Amino acid sequence: LSTLLSDVPKTFITPEIRVDCADEIKFKVVEKVKEELRKDYPVIDVDGVRVKFEDGWGLVRASNTQPALVLRFEALTQDRLTEIRDLVEKKVKSAVSALQGR
């Protein structure tokens, strides 16, 4: 088994991260984050927004069951994982603030 898995690249992954966000704005937040990220990066917008990088990705989607956003991240190194997470979380915080009028 280890021989078969030796060609699979090691990745660093976050657990599911839940960010409180009012039901009234959570889908608008995802849309705003998508608009911002799309300016500089390729995105996939099925069930939220997934931003793609050469060495990882970030996902933001509205929870279907709670007033929250769900975030996930993956990258080839821990440092890159932190960079991607910081970038996406900054966009999320900015969108939430803008939509809450802060």
pTM for the predicted model, two decimal places: 0.89
Structural domains of the chain ordered from first start: 9-100 (3.30.310.50)
**SS3 for the chain, per residue?**
CHHHHCCCCCCEECCCEEEECCHHHHHHHHHHHHHHHHCCCCEECCCCEEEEECCEEEEEEECCCCCEEEEEEEECCHHHHHHHHHHHHHHHHHHHHHHHCC
73-83 pLDDT, tens digit each: 999 999 999 99
56-74 pLDDT, tens digit each: 999 999 999 999 999 999 9
